Amino acid sequence: MQKSSNCSPHRFMFVALLLAGLMAIHGEAIAGDPAWLRDVTFMAYTPSEFKVINGKPIPASSESIAEDLQVLRPYADGLITYSVANGLADVVGLADKAGFHAVILGIWSPTDKYEVTLAVKLVRQYPKLVRAIVVGNEGLFWKRYTWHDVQKTIKQIRRDVPDVAVTTSEPMVSYLGSPARLGCEDQDFLLPNIHPVFEPWFHPESVTQATEFVLDIEKRLYALCNKFVLIKETGVPSGPSSEGFTQATQSAFWRNLMHKMHTQPHAALAYFEAFDAPWKIEEIARDSGRRDAREAAWGWFTSSRKPKEVVEALQPRSPTKTPAGVGAQ
């Protein structure tokens, strides 16, 4: 007669559910811990060679991306990207080789199944480097997709790669405006774009007012969701000089803001953006009907990788020391 087993199917099921629950808690703990967001110096990055002309993306070569990253690495140990399509997936492997400590990986189109699948693949391939996925960039504001699209993709990512943090990125009005606010519960941290330059009161010399504005919005966002705020985009462009924008005014804004951000326990600042992008002027005008010469000059470096005055405000980053919480998966 066959001996009865103490391990009944019900018991196996209980153990399986318990392990699944523990894994889910472990994933939430990793994704929700903001320590790595404070300890990494992030640069918002689009390759200097990348362009969009008449709506058509023109990818950067891997060689050019590698040269970009060699320029950036002495000053930043983290990258925030905008997409993995059109050759931009190459950034992750090259960032790993260049010694970056963290990548916040962008998905430009949450409805693009190929892009979402590729982002998940990169997380699995580089689990210690890709620390978060950004589901979309200003697409709600520009009506490229819906909040339902964002939520659906966030759920898929949480299912497929539960240890990675997930967020989205929108202008501040998408978080604070009425009638609908972005759902706090769906995001592990907030990644807003806060641009005083586009406020009606702004002028290039209003450095103090502009930095206080950024800090005020950051505090309101934290109060809204009680989640860490990493400001992905802010800044003052270095041109056009005909409108009063210079490298000196750009540097003054960033120095002032960086100094004041040190006192903010629930927020950090990414540097927007790595390189000037002259192609943006015509492309944004094509989409919006608004031609704005400032869009070419947000970079900390020129499109030919020459440092601007603002780079002097950055502290060199160690090429070897890994910040707390990074690579602990």
Write the CB contacts of 150 (distance below 8 Å, at least 6 apart in sequence).
110, 135, 136, 139, 140, 168, 186
Burial string for 311-329 (b: 16+ CB within 10 Å, else e) reads: bebbeebeeeebbebbeee
C-alpha distances out from residue 318 to 69, 265, 312, Å: 15, 23, 16
Locate 287 and state its tokens: 């989409």
For residue 30, what pLDDT is reported?
44
Q: How far apart are CA 46 and CA 66, in angstroms?
A: 12
Nearest to 193 by CA among 210, 175, 220: 175
CA-to-CA separations, 191 to 171, 206, 230, 287, in angstroms, rounded: 9, 24, 5, 24
Q: For residue 251, give both structure tokens.
A: 């540097």
Residue 168 carries which DSSP code?
E
Average pLDDT over residues 12-17: 38
Mean pLDDT, range 245-250, rounded to an integer: 97
SS3 269: strand
pLDDT of residue 320: 57
Q: What percent of the residues of the chain are helix, what percent strand, and what percent coil, each to the nearest 5?
A: 45, 15, 45
Q: Tens of pLDDT along 212-241?
A: 999 999 999 999 999 999 999 999 999 999
How large is the angle between the packed helices 207-225 and 247-261, nearest 10 degrees?
A: 40
- Interatomic CA distance for residues 196 and 213, integer angstroms: 7
Lowest-confidence range among 7-21, 86-100, 132-146, 247-261?
7-21
Nearest CA-CA partner of 329 in 20, 110, 72, 36 = 36
- Sorted by where each begins, the domain ranges of the chain are 34-313
CATH architecture for residues 34-313: Alpha-Beta Barrel (3.20)
State the average pLDDT over residues 112-132. 98
Q: Is residue 205 over pLDDT 80? A: yes
Bridge partners (DSSP) listed for residue 169: 137
Q: Residues of the chain with pLDDT > 70: what percent?
A: 85
Residues contacting 287, CB < 8 A, separation 6+: 142
Written as six digits, the tokens of 6 are: 């103490």
Residue 200 neighbours by CB distance under 10 Å: 4
Q: Write down the pTM of the prediction.
A: 0.88
